[in-house]
Chains A and B, each alone.
Chain A
Amino acid sequence: MLKYVIKRVLLLIMVFMIIVTMCFTLIKLLPSKPADQFGKDMELILRRRELLGYEKPLLEQYMIFLRKTLFGGDWGVGEMKYMGREVTQIFLEKMPASIAVNLYTMILAVPLGLLLGIYAALKKNKWQDHLISTAVILFVSVPSYVYAFLVQYFLCFKWGWFNIQVMAGTNFFSWQMFTSMMPAIISLGFGTVAGLTRYVRAELTEVLTSDFLLLARTKGLSRAQTTVRHALRNAMVPVFPMILGEFIGILGGSMIIEGIFGIPGVGGLYVECIQTTPPDYNFFMLLTVFYTLIGLVSGIVVDLSYSFIDPRIRMGSKK
């Protein structure tokens, strides 16, 4: 097991380094904005660029990048956006908003998705199941920004229940902030709930029809007992890693929803730094690395969590 984990981690590092190197090269091939166009910030930009070895050959720059940036944590300063401010600082300022919105979404959506999925599985092929399944296929397919528009139009404009934009401030865990984030949470929630419902329903129906459940019933366990103790626990084996993966994914934020509801998050930051001409490469580099890392880490955590949840699954064993 440990050997497998180490192998996976090493592989992760290898893939990560290749991707970072690729992106680094591709970004460095693009022309930056000349320093003398920065006016009063010229001094600062020049100094920071010199520190990061902008004038040196690419290979040397890469070494500096590895030493100072990737492991040293100096990602430079904002050149096109947030002029002169530390990239990492801005990035960390943006994180909590993204996390808050997505965390709220998960906290509300996960139980709802589980419940609906379980309910649909228990009522398999009855009208309740058909209703939920139809709703699920609708909600899974429709893009999240369409919900955002619907929510914004009806809940914010038509009925005036919520503010159009998320309120300013950094007090992300206060009640006011929660209510002002509600439209975004609802918009994000539809897809999550629907996806989870579908998955749980599929897994649970499979388990419910398996032989060991029949055995449990014949032994005299009630339907509720078999469902909760046997079926559900087995069905959760693939479901739980999926939820775990989504929890890691929430760090990344969601670009479109953040844009629509004015959430000062990481996703919005990416869009912001891309849309200047030329893009702000310092932010771009950091966010590229960040998103890559999230993807890789969530993948590995999901894989490894299988064996923690269900000890019968042995990772890395030859089939």
Chain B
Amino acid sequence: MNKKEYESIPASAFEFVPMEGRMHDKKLESKPIGYFRDAFNRFCRNKSSVVAAFIIMILFLYAILVPFVAENKYTLALTDPDYTYFSKLPPKSSALAWMGVDGTRVEPSVNETNYNKYNAFYTETGYNPVVEQIGEPRVDPIQQAAYDKEVEKLQEQVDTAPNAALKKQRQKKLDKKLATSVPRQFTLKLDPYYLMGDTNGMLYIDLTFAEYKKVQNWQNDTGLQVIYPAVSQKLEDASIWYELDESGNPLKDENGNIVNIYQSAGKVEAQDSYTGTATATTPFVGTATVAGYASDVTVDVLYDAQGYVLNATVNVSGETADAAAQYAAPEFAKKLIGQRAPFVRKQEGAKNGVDVVSGATVTGDAIIAALNEATASGVQSNLKVDMTFDAKGVVTACTVTAVGDVNDQAAAYLSDEFAASLIGRRAPFGVSTEANPSVDAVAGATVTAQSLAAAMNKATPVYTSTRIQADDGSLRYHKVGGTETSTNYRVRICLYNYFQYKYGFEAEFLFGTNTKGQDIFTRLASGARFSFILAIGVSSINMLIGAIYGAIQGYYGGVVDLVLDRISDVLNNVPFMVVTTLFQLHLAKHVGPVVALIFAFVLTGWIGMAARVRMQFYRFKGQEYILAARTLGASDFRLMFKHIFPNSLGTIITGSVLVIPGMIFSESSMTYLGIVNLESSTMTSVGTMLANGKDQLQYNPYIILFPALFVSMLMISFNLFGNGLRDAFNPSLRGAE
């Protein structure tokens, strides 16, 4: 082709490029992967981090859901004084019993006294606290040696006795020694749920009449016995209900059964000779002589069928101890008139303090106690209650009638229902005397509304015992105490069943209970909640402050950077402990310890974040796209937060997760040391739980185990999770721990 041809090409020589089948930018067949999606994919490939994330999720759910799922009457009764009875119970779960979470504990050395108590507890309640006896009982060799030596010495004395009389005396001494034995030691696998800590399962508690009644109704409904018979001796230890022998072991009868010392409810022994119903006006024929035990004071009492003393005289036979002398006065005898004496049947083998109506002993104490039980006087109610009752004082028939104007208070009692409700109950009514005319007479006398209520409160329902086979209604289940206006009933309860009565479920704690009796499972959840709230709350505040601060520092640089850097430098170098302490001292009074702690965390916590963001800003602010944006007139704010900031988002997120374990550690340390005290009935922290449990490490390590396990798992998981996040957001850092 020559030049000419170029210059004049006809239009027809041209043709349009065929548009069909031309290369165009094709639409992408796969979706573009976003920054976060990409990071997420990478994160998912890191198995340990995914597992860690799941663990965190589980722990989080545990913290959040427990209040809705696992709260019950027990955990909600936050300031219940009864909590201490249920302290130090090991973890127990009927579902996990095969794993050994059966709430038992191996006690390496149990002395014989306690061993006997456990066995007696089993006999009485049917709950066996001894799961297993490990090995044979042991005898302390030192004690055994001392015992042998003493026996040997006594034997020698017998052998060397100069005359027969002395020999006999010494032989007696030796026999007595031989009858005792060296206490043994046992290794037992125990179930502390039956024993309930240090109480050995039984406890004296005071109930109001309404509560007393409620417990009894509950017993009748469920067939579980809470209240066990009162014992006749003044024993602090409620778990002893049996006679003791010389060496402190339970006395056995010829059949090998334990001899009980249950107190008899029978006020009167007259039932033996008395038959048929009687009214109070029928005097009891026959006089019982009451011989004083040890005090040499004898009291001759004349009383009626209900056991009310009609006349009493006090005689002194022999030497009177000083303590007994006060009862020898005629005034004392006069005081007894009109009272019903809570005399107790004498028991075989009973040694002291047991009162018997006829031909037996009354102690001064028992009479005083009887005086205390005297019925109060009240306002005249003009109600008349006629009753018939049997020899034991149980009402068999009853009518209530009005004898004049009845006041509002008393009117409530003027009904057949009330009369019927008295039937079957034992009424310890007082009798009217000349000295005290307003006291209620049993029959044919007026009863005041007040005294009737008091009488009702005192009326003992005929008790149906489910456990005590021998009980035919003759055992006594309470001791009345308190004042005239508020009577309380001291009863001996089995704590295991009392727990069921009170909280509606059988005692079983998955994580056990701590020294205060709080359920560790729910308590730990509350501590966990606090840890999470603190971790998430503080790290987001830190993120916010750190991001803004770091952005300003990094973006402006120069003098601004220098000044801001100095400020963060100063804050960074104040020891964290000191910051926390000062905040607690200054702020805790005004805003509470929690807010003060959060302030302390925030004060220094954002510095790391600011440093990270600052570094990112230094990296990106010189790049071309920033220059381009600036040339187009973007404001500083826009440049900072629209263009640079998103680039450092990955670093920020990673950073704020990676500081969480450290924060949880600091929080638990501060609360552990007691520098920060967050303990209240509704709130706790893991550190406080650890601190409270540390004294129990040797014997009840589970108290510490669960909080420690929780905090360890949380920190491991957060570390793994954070590392995974960092690798996901910034793959180039992978492997550099």
**Is B501 engaged at the interface, CB distance under 8 Å to the other chain?**
no
User: With A and B bound together, what is the CA distance between A233 and B669 in angstroms?
Assistant: 37
User: With A and B bound together, what is the CA distance between A255 and B569 in angstroms?
Assistant: 25
Min Cβ gap A97→B in Å is 18
B577 A145 Cβ-Cβ under 8 A = no
A256-300 residues with Cβ-Cβ distance < 8 A to B are: 256, 259-260, 270-271, 274-275, 279, 284, 288, 291-292, 295-296, 299
- Measured CB to CB, the nearest residue on chain B to A30 is B585
Q: Which residues of B contact A19 (CB under 8 A)?
A: 570, 573-574
A142 B574 Cβ-Cβ under 8 A = no
Interface centre among B586, B661, B665, B697 (most CB of A within 10 A): B697
Whether A23 touches B578, Cβ cut-off 8 Å, given contacts A30-B585, A256-B673, is yes
B569 A137 Cβ-Cβ under 8 A = no
Q: Which residues of A contact B698 (CB under 8 A)?
A: 153, 157
Q: Which residues of A contact B737 (CB under 8 A)?
A: 198-199, 201-202
Specify the main secondary structure of chain A where it touches its partner: helix
Q: Which residues of A contact B694 (CB under 8 A)?
A: 149, 260
A291 B575 Cβ-Cβ under 8 A = yes
User: With A and B bound together, what is the CA distance between A127 and B716 in angstroms?
Assistant: 21
Binary interface encoding of chain A residues 198-209 relative to chain B, with 1 for a CB under 8 A from any of its CBs, else 0: 110110011000
User: With A and B bound together, what is the CA distance between A284 and B690 in angstroms?
Assistant: 25
Q: Which residues of B contact A295 (CB under 8 A)?
A: 573, 575
User: With A and B bound together, what is the CA distance between A138 and B48 in angstroms?
Assistant: 12
- Measured CB to CB, the nearest residue on chain B to A206 is B736
Binary interface encoding of chain B residues 715-737 relative to chain A, with 1 for a CB under 8 A from any of its CBs, else 0: 11011100100000000000111
User: With A and B bound together, what is the CA distance between A206 and B733 in angstroms?
Assistant: 11
Min Cβ gap B718→A in Å is 8
Min Cβ gap A22→B in Å is 7
A137 B719 Cβ-Cβ under 8 A = yes
Q: Which residues of B contact A259 (CB under 8 A)?
A: 673
A145 B672 Cβ-Cβ under 8 A = yes
Specify which of A142, A153, A260, A271 is in contact with B716 (CB 8 Å cutoff): A142
**Is B248 engaged at the interface, CB distance under 8 Å to the other chain?**
no
User: With A and B bound together, what is the CA distance between A256 and B575 in angstroms?
Assistant: 16
- Binding-face segment, B123-131, B262-270, B704-712: B704-712
- Measured CB to CB, the nearest residue on chain B to A299 is B573
B534-593 residues with Cβ-Cβ distance < 8 A to A are: 566, 569-570, 573-575, 577-578, 581-582, 585-586
- Measured CB to CB, the nearest residue on chain B to A268 is B673
Min Cβ gap A319→B in Å is 10
**Is A141 engaged at the interface, CB distance under 8 Å to the other chain?**
yes
A215-257 residues with Cβ-Cβ distance < 8 A to B are: 255-256
**Is B701 engaged at the interface, CB distance under 8 Å to the other chain?**
yes
B712 A143 Cβ-Cβ under 8 A = yes
A275 B668 Cβ-Cβ under 8 A = no
Min Cβ gap B666→A in Å is 10
User: With A and B bound together, what is the CA distance between A206 and B577 in angstroms?
Assistant: 36
Q: Which residues of A contact B720 (CB under 8 A)?
A: 137, 141
**Is B100 engaged at the interface, CB distance under 8 Å to the other chain?**
no
Whether A271 touches B675, Cβ cut-off 8 Å, given contacts A30-B585, A292-B578, is yes
User: With A and B bound together, what is the CA distance between A15 and B573 in angstroms?
Assistant: 8
Binary interface encoding of chain B residues 677-698 relative to chain A, with 1 for a CB under 8 A from any of its CBs, else 0: 0000000000000100010011
A271 B575 Cβ-Cβ under 8 A = no
A288 B708 Cβ-Cβ under 8 A = no
B712 A146 Cβ-Cβ under 8 A = yes
- Give the interface residue-count category, chain A: 35 or more
**Is A26 engaged at the interface, CB distance under 8 Å to the other chain?**
yes
Q: Which residues of B contact A30 (CB under 8 A)?
A: 585-586
- Measured CB to CB, the nearest residue on chain A to B687 is A145
User: With A and B bound together, what is the CA distance between A201 and B736 in angstroms?
Assistant: 9
Specify which of A15, A138, A291, A296 is in contact with B577 (CB 8 Å cutoff): A291
A292 B581 Cβ-Cβ under 8 A = no
Q: Which residues of B contact A149 (CB under 8 A)?
A: 690, 694, 697, 701, 704, 708
Whether A141 touches B661, Cβ cut-off 8 Å, given contacts A153-B698, A201-B737, A295-B573, is yes
Q: List 23 A-B contacts (CB under 8 A).
A: A11-B569, A15-B569, A16-B573, A18-B570, A23-B574, A30-B585, A137-B719, A137-B720, A141-B715, A145-B672, A149-B704, A152-B697, A153-B697, A256-B669, A256-B673, A274-B674, A275-B674, A288-B575, A291-B578, A292-B573, A295-B573, A295-B575, A296-B573
**8 more CB-based (< 8 A) A-B contacts, given A149-B708, A255-B669, A292-B574:** A15-B573, A19-B574, A23-B578, A141-B718, A145-B668, A202-B737, A260-B694, A291-B575
- Residues on B lying within 8 angstroms of A by beta carbon are 566, 569-570, 573-575, 577-578, 581-582, 585-586, 661, 665, 668-669, 672-675, 690, 694, 697-698, 701, 704, 708, 711-712, 715-716, 718-720, 723, 735-737
The 10 A-B residue pairs whose C-beta atoms are closest, nearest first, are A291-B575, A141-B716, A141-B715, A142-B712, A141-B719, A146-B708, A157-B698, A288-B578, A202-B737, A198-B737
- Residues on A lying within 8 angstroms of B by beta carbon are 11, 15-16, 18-19, 22-23, 26-27, 29-30, 137-138, 140-143, 145-146, 149, 152-153, 157, 198-199, 201-202, 205-206, 255-256, 259-260, 270-271, 274-275, 279, 284, 288, 291-292, 295-296, 299
